[in-house]
Chains A and B, each alone.
Chain A
Amino acid sequence: DAGVTQSPTHLIKTRGQQVTLRCSPKSGHDTVSWYQQALGQGPQFIFQYYEEEERQRGNFPDRFSGHQFPNYSSELNVNALLLGDSALYLCASSFVGSRFNEQFFGPGTRLTVL
C-alpha cells in the first residue's frame, strides 16, 4: 500500500522565481492538504483540496495556489518566491469520511530560496 508521495525532494530557487510541488495521496484517500514547516516550528496549514476545489485556506498570500486533479493528486504553486518561503512543504492526505480527520504526511519537499 503506497503512502503519500511528493516530488521533488529538494529544490533550490532564487527570489522572484516560481515553483511547483507535487503530491500523490495515499491509496483510498480523496483529500489533500498542504502545510509549510519552517525550521523549529510546527507545520502551518496552507490549504486543503477536495473534489478538485479549494475547501479551506490558511493565512497565506495569493502567491500560494494549488490544484487537485481527478486522480486526487495535487500541486502547490508558489509565485514570486521570497527568502522567507524557504521551508519544508508537506502534503497530507485523508479520507473525507474519516471520523477524526486523521491526516497522513508525505516525506516533504525541502525548498531553499536564495
Chain B
Amino acid sequence: RKEVEQDPGPFNVPEGATVAFNCTYSNSASQSFFWYRQDCRKEPKLLMSVYSSGNEDGRFTAQLNRASQYISLLIRDSKLSDSATYLCVVNPAVSGYALNFGKGTSLLVTP
C-alpha cells in the first residue's frame, strides 16, 4: 500500500463550481499534513498546512480525520487560475523529516 494515496483525476469543473479532493495515508503516527499546488513544469507551492481542527483560507478548506487517516481539500467558487495539480503531503513522525507526497490530483477549471 502506498504511503499517501490520491485520486489522480483529472477533475474537470466549470468556473464557480465547488470541488473536493481526498487523500488517505497509511502511517497512523503521521504528525504533519499539507496540501501543495503544482503548476505544469513548476515547483510545488505550499497551499495549506492541515491542522487537527480543520482550517480555512479564503475559498480553500482543509480537513483532517486522524481516525480514518483521511485528509480533504475543498475549493469553493473555482477560478480558472485554480487549474493545477494538487499534492497531498504527509510528514510521518517515524521518518521525521521527509515529506511523503501523493501522486497528485489534476484539476482543470473551464470557462
List chain A positions with a Cβ less than 8 A from chain B: 31, 33, 35, 40-45, 48, 55-56, 58, 88, 90, 92, 100-108, 110
Find out whether the CB atom of A102 lies under 8 angstroms from the CB atom of B103: no
Instruction: Report if A107-B101 is in contact (Cβ < 8 Å); known contacts: A100-B32, A102-B49.
Output: no
What 1/0 flags go to B34-62 for Cβ under 8 Å of A? 10000001111110010000000000000
Stretch at the interface among B9-17, B69-77, B90-98: B90-98
Q: From residue 62 to 111 of chain B, which have CB atoms closer than 8 A to chain A? A: 87, 91, 95-104
Q: How large is the interface on B (under 10, 10 to 19, 20 to 34, 35 or more residues)?
A: 20 to 34
Find out whether the CB atom of B32 lies under 8 angstroms from the CB atom of A108: no
Find out whether the CB atom of A40 lies under 8 angstroms from the CB atom of B103: yes
Per the bound structure, the CA–CA distance linking A45 and B99 in Å amounts to: 7
Find out whether the CB atom of B43 lies under 8 angstroms from the CB atom of A90: yes
Per the bound structure, the CA–CA distance linking A58 and B97 in Å amounts to: 10
Find out whether the CB atom of A104 lies under 8 angstroms from the CB atom of B101: no
Instruction: Report if A33-B98 is in contact (Cβ < 8 Å); known contacts: A42-B103, A100-B49, A101-B91.
Output: yes
Instruction: Report if A103-B42 is in contact (Cβ < 8 Å); known contacts: A42-B87, A42-B104.
Output: no
Per the bound structure, the CA–CA distance linking A30 and B59 in Å amounts to: 32
